[in-house]
Amino acid sequence: MRRHHHERHRTGHMGWLRAAVLGANDGIVSTASLLMGVAAAHADRHAVLLAGIAALVAGAMSMAAGEYVSVHSQADSEQAELAREREELATDTDAEHRELANIYVGRGLEPALARQVAQQLMAHDALDAHARDELGITEVFRARPLQAAAASAASFAVGAVVPLLVAAMASGAMQLWLVFAVSLACLALLGALAARMGGAAAGVGALRIAFWGALAMGLTTGTGMLFGAVP
């Protein structure tokens, strides 16, 4: 009985994972920092929550727009390269065959075998072969603007909800500390999860993201205290 060998690779998830982690991290850090800064400036409960809601909506839209524009630019560049390659294949097939064969020779194949491989791959799908081996464009890593925008916006909103809910449930002097503690814990968890999904050490990922999150929240809180003390 023939067995099929299946392998699970993390690289196929890197596009949406990067956008999702960046969105959630930014949602937690920016919203928590804003809440803490406004609260430290002695704003009332209503003003703090209003600032948090505004940060959630504006941040999610900003992340979506930024990711869409950035990834769409990459997609435009890919399409331009593919169009140029398609034209070259139509006008000078022999040169493209030699170019592909030379790529395989550079990777370690014997020249005769490289020419044979290039011939067979181009007979199957010439554009795909050149896109993959000459341009480095594959279906797995192809730019997807809408997917990146949606992942960024949704993850930002999910991340921003965490400190916003804590601020809504807490009050008084405990509000600052609870927002800080819960947000920092979520950032550490997010960093560990992202590191594990990417195949890296969870502890390093947790410490890295928690450090920068704590620094951002601390600086914003200090700014709020400074300007809140000004009459």
Query: pLDDT tens digits for 157-214?
Result: 999 999 999 998 887 778 888 999 999 999 898 888 777 776 778 888 888 888 988 8
Phi and psi angles of residue 172, each rounded to the nearest 5 degrees, phi first: 70, -150
Quick one: pLDDT band at residue 14, thresholds 50, 70, 90?
low
103 contacts 113 by C-beta, under 8 angstroms: no
pLDDT digits (tens, 9 = 90+) for 47-85: 889 999 999 999 999 888 888 888 888 777 877 877 887
**Average of per-residue pLDDT across 79-103:** 81
pTM for the predicted model, two decimal places:
0.67
Q: What is the pLDDT of residue 1?
A: 43
Question: Would residue 52 count as lying in a domain?
Answer: yes
The answer to whether position 118 is within a domain reads no
Is residue 212 exposed (0-12), middle (13-18) or buried (19+ Cβ within 10 Å)?
Answer: middle
| CA dihedral for 123, 127, 132, 136, sign (positive or negative) | positive
Give domain status of residue 6, yes or no. no
- Which residue in 73, 67, 82, 68 sits closest to 138, CA to CA? 82
pLDDT of residue 54: 92
Helices marked H in 41-144: 45-91, 93-106, 111-130
For the chain, what is the domain count?
1
Q: Which is nearest to 163 in space by CA: 183, 145, 149, 181?
A: 183
Residue 72 lies in a domain: yes
* CA distance linking residue 37 with residue 107, whole number of Å: 55
Question: 42 lies in which domain range?
Answer: 13-81+145-223
Interatomic CA distance for residues 142 and 82, integer angstroms: 12
Q: Is residue 93 part of a domain?
A: no
In a domain? residue 198: yes
Task: Please tell me the predicted confidence (pLDDT) of residue 2.
Answer: 43
pLDDT score, position 79: 78
Residue 89 belongs to some domain of the structure: no
**Most trustworthy range by pLDDT among 9-23, 31-45, 84-98:** 31-45
Residue 215 lies in a domain: yes
Tokens of 227: 């300007």
